[in-house]
Amino acid sequence: MEVIPVLDLKGGIVVHARMGMRSAYAPIETPLSPTSEPSSVARGLLSIFRFNAFYVADLDAIEGNGDNTTALKALRAEYPDLAFWVDNGTADLRIARPWLEAGFGHLVVGSETQRDSELIRALGRDERTILSLDFRGDAFLGPASLLDDVDAWPRKIIVMALARVGTASGPDMNRLANIKLRATGRQIYAAGGVRDANDLALLARAGITGALIATSLHNGKLTGAQIARLSG
């Protein structure tokens, strides 16, 4: 079971995401860091466990209100050995290819910002591309063609349950099972609602590769020792 810590960036700082209500996100307050500055929060998360990758949501870019490229560059400079999975709302191949070639990290193609399945069709065989299938409750956020075009999906798939983010309500096991059944041979990552090591063990038994986690790392419900046991 692979644990991927989450950094939600807005206005150059890390914010506390909850239920996908981005306008209400406030600067994160965590015992792991004295500030909400991205490098400091990342340092605090790495004090729990030596993670291999971080998921970064550039909320300003996703919403079309600027970007957090400066913060991302600082993170990459300080932690060159980490893989960064970055969702910045990219929906245009002319932007995606140069971004990948610039070496910022792995590009997360979020379904909510796509118009069709063309970007995933173009980049799906690139190991640096990750697809996030975004859901709010039962509603799929994105074009139906992308949800249906399973052959175009890349090797790594995030199943994002936005309504569960920051709620400690548990992962959406039914949704994950459905996507896993369709996405034969892909690696599936759960996002939203993971509460503790018991949830991670449940996901592992269901054949889920990993989980994107923030709240349970910051509130201490998930410890480094537990992650090490599950990873081993």
**Residue 12 region by backbone torsions, left for phi larger than 0, else alpha for psi between -120 and 50, else beta:** left
Are the beta carbons of 115 and 89 closer than 8 angstroms?
no
> Confidence band (pLDDT; 50, 70, 90) for 165?
confident
Per-residue buried b or exposed e for 203-226, using 16+ beta carbons within 10 Å of the residue's own CB:
beeeebbbbbbbbbbbeebbeeeb
One CATH from 3.90.1720.10, 3.40.50.9100, 3.20.20.70, 3.40.50.1970 for 2-231? 3.20.20.70
pLDDT in tens, 95-113: 999 999 999 899 999 999 9
> Confidence band (pLDDT; 50, 70, 90) for 19?
low
- Other CB atoms within 10 A of residue 31 CB: 9
Q: Where are the alpha helices (DSSP H) in the chain?
A: 38-46, 59-62, 69-78, 93-101, 118-123, 144-148, 173-182, 197-205, 215-218, 224-231
Are the beta carbons of 222 and 197 closer than 8 angstroms?
yes
Six-digit token pair at 96? 């995606």
Residues whose CB is less than 8 angstroms from the CB of residue 166 and which lie 6 or more positions away in sequence, other chains included: 16, 17, 18, 19, 214, 215
Question: What SS3 state is found at 70?
Answer: helix
pLDDT in tens, 27-49: 999 999 999 999 999 999 999 99
Domain range annotation of the chain = 2-231
Could you say which DSSP state residue 222 is in?
S
Q: To the nearest whole number, what is the mean pLDDT of the chain?
A: 94
Question: Is the pTM value of this prediction over 0.75?
Answer: yes
DSSP for 122-158, written as a single string: HHTT-TTEEEEEEEETTEE-S-HHHHH-GGG--SEEE
